[in-house]
Amino acid sequence: MERGLRLPFFNFEYKLILFNRQMFKRFLTQKQSKDDYPPGDLVIWIFIYAELLVFGVLFLAYAFSRSNNLELFNESQKLVNQELGALNTLILITSSFFVVRAVSAIREGKVEQCGHWLLATMVMGSGFIVVKIFEFSEKFAAGISLSTNTFFTYYLSMTAFHFMHVVVGLIILGAIWWKNRRGGYNQEEYTGVETGASYWHMVDLVWIILFPLIYVIR
């Protein structure tokens, strides 16, 4: 019965992953006015690869610990809120679509439209923050902390670490939106917009792995 209840979450996550893959592929392959590749500043890609390496190590450590404490992890996972996790997945996927639209708009010289899509991305990102704070408050109110058990050490550490990346992403997007509003980007110069979008896609990608790993797979 429990296995049957989890199946819709897997189907939902699979569809979201396919959608995000299409959006990211579109972001990478859209026509550009210059030959630079990958899109954005090279420095942000070095940072992205470094951060993905850190998250990858955390994911492997979680998988190893889970294999040695399967019963504990399965029981503890029943206390996490899958619905809120799925909602935040939908929020981030939608925000990735919006940031793709922002890049597309600036590449076409639609500066004002780019600003609107950036704002929409930030609204969705802020929604993620609100949902996550509510989720954290639920756990703390229930007396759950880093020291509760091994599962919650990973759960709180990894989701909080990702939470900080979302906050940083919102700050970056806010700075880009402000510069765009002041005429800092146009059809010929939009590296900053691509840079922010690349970082935001990284944030989304990490969550797409984190969500099924922590909330769903048992």
Q: Which two tokens stand for residue 66?
A: 């889970």
Q: Is residue 43 part of a domain?
A: no
pLDDT at 36: 55
What CATH number does the domain containing 183 carry?
Answer: 1.20.120.80
pLDDT at 23: 52
Model pTM? Answer: 0.82
Q: Is residue 79 part of a domain?
A: yes
Kindly report the CA angle at 89 between 97 and 30, in degrees rounded to 5?
20
What is the C-alpha separation between 111 and 117, in angstroms, rounded? 10
Kindly report the CA angle at 88 between 127 and 165, in degrees rounded to 5?
75
pLDDT at 15: 53
Q: Is residue 41 part of a domain?
A: no
The set of residues, in sequence order, having a beta carbon less than 8 Å from that of 51 and lying 6+ positions away, is 165, 202, 206
Q: Is residue 23 part of a domain?
A: yes
Q: Which two tokens stand for residue 124?
A: 């969705």
pLDDT at 5: 41
The domain of 67 spans 2-27+55-216
Contact 30, 22 (CB under 8 A): no
Q: Is residue 90 part of a domain?
A: yes
For the chain, the domain total comes to: 1
DSSP conformation letters of 29-63? HS--SS--SSSS-HHHHHHHHHHHHHHHHHHHHHH
Q: Is residue 48 part of a domain?
A: no
Q: Is residue 37 part of a domain?
A: no
The set of residues, in sequence order, having a beta carbon less than 8 Å from that of 165 and lying 6+ positions away, is 51, 202, 203, 206
Q: Is residue 199 part of a domain?
A: yes
Q: Which two tokens stand for residue 206?
A: 């990490």
pLDDT at 118: 97
- Average pLDDT by consecutive 10-residue portion of the chain (218 residues)? 46 53 50 57 89 95 93 92 94 95 93 96 97 95 92 95 97 95 88 93 95 90
**Biggest distance spanned by C-alpha atoms of the chain:** 57
What is the C-alpha separation between 151 and 168, in angstroms, rounded? 26
pLDDT at 2: 45
Contact 39, 28 (CB under 8 A): yes
Q: Burial letters for 122-136: b for 16+ Cβ neighbours within 10 Å, e otherwise? A: bebbebbeebbeebe
pLDDT at 4: 44
Helix 191-211 to helix 111-141 angle, to the nearest 10 degrees? Answer: 30
